[in-house]
């Protein structure tokens, strides 16, 4: 079963508009973290934003915010005022603790390709 | 602070040849990850080290892939012999791991492998 689902393989957004990238996850661990990464065509993975399962408020980092709905197990990324440089692949990832071990497991979703149109 | 270093950045080999990739994580980071990212897909974890011990290698094709992390610092990933389907970007990442469930991974630039 897919642990991280990103249902939008590709998205288009007009420059300066806001866009929401969807992410749903599946875990039985009460303590977990959700991450969003950006991967431009150059290939590096750039960390954007983090949301902890116990965090009371939705995370924000500049133009990035995370719409965290714990009951629905969704962690959508909102990019405000899109810029041409936002065109990239976006990956949602979940970090969960493996029971009775000392390490965490990180799982990535399949990604969403975002294209910003001038 | 220096980031995660990887080399080489690009490699082209013929099938059945062997290849090795190197990764130097951020200083002090306990956990090191190797991911395989096939074009158009998300990264898939191959192996995860905590200090110099393996904690997860469940998705590593052990008949051809091997990895080691000597002295809990840098790491090498080897493929021997390579197959066409091994063509991918191999990403190395590290994390500090003082706060379970909350640690951010930091990625290197990746090695693009093409097997002909």
What 8-state DSSP symbol labels residue A54? T
CA-nearest residue to A34 within chain B is: B102
- pLDDT score for A40: 94
- pLDDT score for A17: 97
- pLDDT score for A1: 56
Cβ-Cβ contacts under 8 Å between A and B: the total is: 68
Share of chain A above pLDDT 90, in %: 75
- pLDDT score for B24: 96
By C-alpha distance, which of B89, B94, B88 is closest to B107? B94
Q: How would DSSP label each residue in B59-105?
A: TS-TTTEEEEEGGGS-EEEEESS--GGG-EEEEEEEE--SSTTTPPP
In this complex, the residue of B93, B100, B110 whose CB is nearest that of residue A43 is B110
- pLDDT score for B64: 97
Other beta carbons within 10 Å of A28:
7
* Chain B interface includes A35 (CB < 8 A): yes
Q: Please give the residue that has the higher pLDDT: either B116 or A43.
A: B116
Q: Which positions of chain B have pLDDT values less than 70? A: 1, 98-101
Burial class (CB in 10 A: 0-12, 13-18, 19+), A68: buried
- pLDDT score for A96: 83
pLDDT 10s digits, A66-81: 999 999 999 999 999 9
Q: Please give the residue that has the higher pLDDT: either A1 or A26.
A: A26
Give how far B42 is from chain A: nearest CA, Å. 4
Least confidently predicted of A38-52, A57-71, A76-90, B86-100: B86-100
Q: Which of residues 49-88 of B touch A (CB under 8 A)?
A: 50, 55-56
């Amino acid at each position: 079963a897919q642990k991280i689902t990103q249902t939008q393989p590709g998205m288009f957004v007009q420059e300066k508009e806001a866009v929401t990238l969807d992410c749903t996850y599946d875990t039985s661990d009460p303590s977990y973290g959700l991450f969003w990464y950006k991967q431009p065509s150059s290939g590096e993975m750039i960390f954007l934003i983090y949301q902890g399962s116990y965090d009371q408020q939705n995370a924000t980092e500049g133009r990035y915010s995370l719409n965290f709905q714990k009951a629905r197990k969704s962690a959508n990324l909102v990019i405000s005022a899109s810029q041409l440089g936002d065109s990239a692949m976006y990956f949602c990832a979940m970090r969960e603790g493996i029971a009775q071990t000392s390490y965490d497991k990180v799982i990535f979703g399949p990604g969403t390709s975002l294209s910003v149109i001038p | 602070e220096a980031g995660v270093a990887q080399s080489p950045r690009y490699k082209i080999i013929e099938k059945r040849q062997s290849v090795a990739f190197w990764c130097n994580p951020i200083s002090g980071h306990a956990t090191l990850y190797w991911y395989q990212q096939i074009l158009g897909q998300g990264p898939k974890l191959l192996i995860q080290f905590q200090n110099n011990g393996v904690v997860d290698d469940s998705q590593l094709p052990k008949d051809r892939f091997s990895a080691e992390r000597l002295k809990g610092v840098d790491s090498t990933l080897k493929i021997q012999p390579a197959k066409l389907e091994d063509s991918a970007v191999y990403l190395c990442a590290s994390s500090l791991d003082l706060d379970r469930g909350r640690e951010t991974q930091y990625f290197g630039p990746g090695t693009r492998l093409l097997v002909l």
